[in-house]
Amino acid sequence: MQSAVNLWPLLGVVVIVVGFVLRANPVLVAVAACGVTGVAAAMSVMTLLETLGAAFLKTRNLPLILLLPLAAIGLLERFGLRDRAQAAIGKVRSATAGRLLIVYLFARESTAALGLTSLGGHPTMVRPLVAPMAEAAAEAQHGPLPQRIRYRIRAMSAATDNIGLFFGEDIFVAFGAIVLMHTILQAEGIEVNPLHIALWGIPTAITAFVIHAWNLRRLDAEIARAVLDEKGAV
């Protein structure tokens, strides 16, 4: 007979969800979730503290790795990175917001498929480069943009990064989700080659690219209609 699985430690997930919904301090939420999980798993106080301490020591350099690139991007943006990017893309006559984002989608999905998931992201690429360049391309085509269209372009820029990363990394054989699926299937007695799991992610990635590229083409038409409506209202 199989022993019953203790699901009470999953209360830590509930704490995280509730904490983020209430917009509580993320550090306090994480610590509270660890405490709830430890208590639910019947861990002693000393064992729980030792586990937290060991996890902290293993990841103590992580904040430095995350913050240094953000600081560099912030300095570059402060000294004109956005302006240079907008000026450069504004000189390309054939560039539109949709076409530019399609190119970025292809680059993001391709690099993620090779395991280079850090070559992109909202704070490092979308905000300082991709979104301003998409706005500049739209302005070069249509002139001044309504504010809601600017927000629409920024939202689509962020969505493009998300879609490219999400579906591209599923093709990389060493991606954590593929390893997890392989482990679960293996535990159930199903032998599957991780490479085959990754290969089956290719059709999904191609489909996602085609669908989002079509949405980006529609974005150009949406921008044109919004600018005409704005001029008509004036």
Give me the residue spans of the domains in the chain. 1-60, 81-233
Q: What is the pLDDT of residue 119?
A: 80
Residue 134 near residue 88 (C-beta atoms within 8 A): no
CA distance 7 to 23: 26
Q: What is the pLDDT of residue 6?
A: 67
Residues present in the chain in total: 234
Residue with tokens 């076409």: 99
Per-residue pLDDT of the chain (234 residues; tens, 9 = 90+): 445 556 777 888 888 889 888 888 777 888 888 888 888 888 888 887 787 777 666 655 555 555 555 555 565 556 565 666 666 666 666 788 999 999 999 999 999 998 888 888 888 788 888 988 899 889 888 888 889 999 999 999 999 999 999 999 888 877 777 777 778 778 778 888 888 888 888 999 999 999 999 999 999 999 999 888 777 665
DSSP string, 27-80: HHHHHHHHHHHHHHTT--HHHHHHHHHHHHHHTTTHHHHHHHHHHHHHHHHHTT
Residue 136 near residue 87 (C-beta atoms within 8 A): yes
Cα-based angle 169, 81, 145 (whole degrees, multiple of 5): 85
Q: What is the pLDDT of residue 90?
A: 62
Q: What is the pLDDT of residue 66?
A: 53
Q: What is the pLDDT of residue 1?
A: 42
Residue 105 near residue 212 (C-beta atoms within 8 A): yes
CA dihedral 87, 89, 92, 93 (to 10 degrees): -90
Residue with tokens 């209430």: 22
Q: What is the pLDDT of residue 85?
A: 62
Say whether pTM exceeds 0.85: no
